[in-house]
């Protein structure tokens, strides 16, 4: 009887271990279909994740939660803490500066089409109509101000010192102000409203869209350097993961570009997308 009891106990023990092993194998098999969270600022970039990236990832077996943010700080902090698996809202310069200041490690996966800065006006219908001495509101932060001056150079309204660093250009680098424009630096978030009170306003794309402005109404849109295009970003320790590869493939897919062409008109495409 003792031997029979021991035999039964052994069978039960093996059965439990087999069940646990089966459950573990099942769990590991299901790990290919990961539940992930992608953060983005409310508006066009959370829309881009939801409409253009999420569907492609779901085809690859992912369950994707889109988390919206109203500021530019929490998405990176949440990523570094592991609360997010990726985010989309920032350009390369901001990412590198933020990572250095907060002592975290962030890496880009791939750049995406980005809403460009534009020169807007309710007073002038074209660049040719701009009057001598017209006032233009520009961003008061150095990075976005540099972008504004580069757009104005593209229009022919100013010429810049050819030796100036494109990332740090300021009013002191203006060598020829053809129309004697008056530069009015203000907070970037106030630039859409400035269209009503000044002759011209250089409005970053994200603020233009938040104010429900039509990008195609701009007198001139930015020929955006790739450093200023937004990126899909992950924690550096996850740089070589399958998720990173799948995120890159999702953005490179024909499905992604089709959504961009149909629903994100005016967004400037990165060089890799234009040149393929």
> Is the pLDDT higher at 72 or at 235?
235
Nearest-angstrom CA–CA distance, 108 and 200: 34
pLDDT reading at 3 higher than 80: no
Look at residue 13 in the predicted model and tell me its pLDDT.
45
pLDDT reading at 25 higher than 90: no
Nearest-angstrom CA–CA distance, 203 and 270: 20
Look at residue 32 in the predicted model and tell me its pLDDT.
52
Angle (deg, nearest 10), helices 92-102 and 74-81: 60
Of 30-44, 148-162, 201-215, where does mean pLDDT reach its minimum? 30-44
Look at residue 1 in the predicted model and tell me its pLDDT.
47
Contact call for residues 157 and 182 (beta carbons, < 8 A): no
Of 6-20, 33-47, 150-164, 168-182, where does mean pLDDT reach its minimum? 6-20
Both tokens assigned to 208? 């233009």
Q: pLDDT, tens digit, for every residue of 207-264? A: 899 899 999 999 999 998 888 899 999 999 999 999 999 999 999 999 999 999 999 9
Q: Quick one: what percent of the chain has pLDDT higher than 70?
A: 88
Nearest-angstrom CA–CA distance, 243 and 200: 44
Look at residue 81 in the predicted model and tell me its pLDDT.
97
Q: Which domains does the chain have, with CATH numbers?
A: 35-114+227-274 (3.40.190.10), 118-223 (3.40.190.10)
pLDDT reading at 6 higher than 50: no
In this prediction, residues 55-65 reach a mean pLDDT of 97
In this prediction, residues 104-125 reach a mean pLDDT of 97
Look at residue 248 in the predicted model and tell me its pLDDT.
98
CA nearest neighbour of 120 among 38, 209, 54, 251:
209
Helices (H), the chain: 2-30, 44-48, 54-59, 74-81, 92-102, 142-155, 191-194, 205-210, 242-252, 254-263, 271-274
């Amino acid at each position: 009887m003792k031997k029979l009891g021991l035999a039964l106990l052994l069978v039960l023990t093996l059965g439990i271990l087999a069940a646990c092993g089966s459950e573990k194998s099942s769990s590991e098999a299901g790990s290919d279909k990961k539940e992930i969270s992608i953060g983005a600022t409310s508006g066009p970039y959370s829309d881009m994740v939801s409409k253009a990236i999420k569907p492609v990832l779901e085809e690859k077996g992912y369950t994707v939660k889109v988390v919206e943010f109203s500021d530019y700080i929490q998405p990176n902090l949440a990523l570094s803490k592991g609360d997010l698996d990726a985010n989309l809202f920032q350009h390369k310069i901001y990412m590198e500066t933020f990572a250095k200041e907060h002592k975290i490690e962030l890496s880009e996966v791939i750049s995406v089409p980005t809403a460009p800065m534009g020169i807007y006006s309710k007073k002038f219908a074209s660049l040719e109509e701009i009057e001598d001495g017209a006032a233009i509101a520009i961003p008061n932060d150095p990075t976005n101000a540099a972008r504004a001056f580069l757009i104005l150079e593209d229009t022919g309204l100013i010429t810049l010192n050819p030796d100036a660093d494109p990332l740090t250009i300021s009013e002191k680098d203006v060598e020829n102000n053809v129309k004697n424009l008056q530069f009015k630096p203000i907070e970037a978030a106030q630039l859409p409203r400035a269209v009503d009170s000044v002759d011209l306003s250089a409005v970053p794309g994200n603020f233009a869209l938040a104010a429900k402005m039509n990008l195609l109404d701009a007198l001139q849109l930015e020929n955006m350097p790739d450093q200023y295009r937004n990126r899909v970003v992950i924690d550096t320790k996850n740089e070589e993961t399958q998720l990173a590869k799948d995120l890159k493939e999702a953005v490179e897919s024909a499905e992604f570009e089709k959504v961009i062409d149909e629903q994100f008109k005016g967004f400037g495409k990165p060089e890799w997308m234009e040149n393929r």
